[in-house]
């Protein structure tokens, strides 16, 4: 059974949190790691069963989309302190989300032992690529 409502739910949570962050400035900035962890761990849990690798790509895309929304609409790019807080909150959310995905990949790898490119490897390689991309395009602090 396809879960067609899950992907829009994650995008809506990110959008609503950043709209609230626009009107109540510290909200989306300081709660990034909370709602991103909820999306990665709870909301997208059924997506891991459908296609683990695409779900990991979707999760990392949501992390980057959330960071773009925070920088564009929730503030934090006007001075070096704001940019540092944006960077710190992205890193905290990234680490917690990656730990959740690694835990889920280890659980899923036990079930699928005959795969050539394991779910754990996908999460680790995705995390490395996202960090390289993020640090390459990140505004200087």
Q: Report the C-alpha dihedral over residues 13, 69, 84, 98, rounded to 10 degrees.
A: 50
For the chain, give the mean pLDDT: 85
Q: Which of 8-17, 82-91, 103-112 has the lowest mean pLDDT?
A: 103-112
- Residue 100: strand, helix, or coil: helix
Cβ–Cβ under 8 Å, residues 10 and 62: yes
Encode pLDDT of 94-113 as tens digits: 999 999 999 999 887 666 65
pLDDT-based confidence at 3, cuts 50/70/90? low
Question: Cβ(89)–Cβ(51) under 8 Å?
Answer: no
Q: Report pLDDT digits (tens) over 21-59.
A: 888 878 888 899 999 999 999 999 999 988 899 999 999
Q: Which has the higher per-residue pLDDT, 140 or 36? A: 36
**Measured CA distances, 84 to 75, 76, 140, 141 (Å):** 12, 8, 9, 6
Distance CA 18, CA 14 (A): 6
**Contacting residues for 94 by C-beta, under 8 A, at least 6 apart:** 63, 127, 130, 131, 134
């Amino acid at each position: 059974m396809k879960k067609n409502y899950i992907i829009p739910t994650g995008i809506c949570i990110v959008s609503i949190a950043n709209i609230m962050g626009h009107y109540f400035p510290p909200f989306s900035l300081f709660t990034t790691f909370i709602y991103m962890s909820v999306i990665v761990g709870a909301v997208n849990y059924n997506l891991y069963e459908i296609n683990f690798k695409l779900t990991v790509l979707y999760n990392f895309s949501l992390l980057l989309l959330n960071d773009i929304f925070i920088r564009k609409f929730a503030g934090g790019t006007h001075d070096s302190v704001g940019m540092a807080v944006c960077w710190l909150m992205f890193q905290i959310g990234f680490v917690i989300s990656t730990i959740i995905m690694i835990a889920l990949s280890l659980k899923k790898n036990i079930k699928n032992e005959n795969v050539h490119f394991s779910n754990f490897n996908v999460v680790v390689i995705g995390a490395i690529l996202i960090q390289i991309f993020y640090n390459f395009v990140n505004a200087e602090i």
